[in-house]
Amino acid sequence: MTEISVSLPRKMLVAVEGSEPSLRESSMKAAAYALKLAAASGAELVALCVIQIPEYIEEITRASLRNELFAKSEKTLGEVANLASAAKVKYSSEVLETSGAIATTICNFSSKEGVNLIVLGTRANTSNLTKMMLGSVASGVASNADCPVLVVR
């Protein structure tokens, strides 16, 4: 059997969500997991919030939605920053806006930034059918990322 060479990640990305309570909870769990991994491996951690704003809505509605989502994202990223500081992990964060697919935005950002591991949460589902499937963002990232992806439940 041929030996496969792997190394610990040097730069990790955790994708977090701050707008919906159930998603926010799974995001913070993913962030806590990513921080433990980053602290143990000495990796840098980048936290990313992607906000999706449709193009087809009126400008005044778009501006209001943008302000609300950016504020919630910044609050969530601030909480992750506090955890990173306590864990003594090198940390940075970014909020990106898209009108397209969130998973594509996460994958493109991770490729551009040279990320070695993406960590993201998915909400715990209760039905047998949904337990077999990941959320659409987690599934899209896992299917399209250039690096390993860790999905935290």
**What distance in Å separates the CA atoms of residue 79 and residue 142, rounded to the nearest whole number?**
25
Mean pLDDT of 72-96: 96
pLDDT at 80 over 60: yes
Q: Taking Cα atoms as reference points, which of 68, 28, 34 lies closest to residue 52?
A: 68
Report how far residue 58's alpha carbon sits from residue 39's, in angstroms, rounded to the nearest whole number: 44
- Quick check: 72 pLDDT over 60? yes
Q: What is the pLDDT of residues 122-145, one digit of tens each?
A: 876 545 554 444 578 999 999 999
pLDDT of residue 86: 96
Report whether pLDDT(84) > 60: yes
What residue ranges define each of the domains in the chain, with the CATH number in brackets? 11-152 (3.40.50.620)
Q: Are 19 and 69 in contact (CB under 8 A)?
A: yes
| Overall average pLDDT of the 92-97 stretch | 97
- Which pLDDT value is given to residue 25? 83
pLDDT score of 127? 53
What local confidence, expressed as pLDDT, does residue 131 receive? 44
CA distance 98 to 106: 10
16-71: pLDDT as tens digits: 987 676 567 888 999 999 999 999 999 999 999 999 999 899 999 999 999 999 99
Tokens of 99: 């009108």
| Residue with the larger pLDDT of the pair 149 and 25 | 149
Say whether pLDDT at 13 is over 80: yes
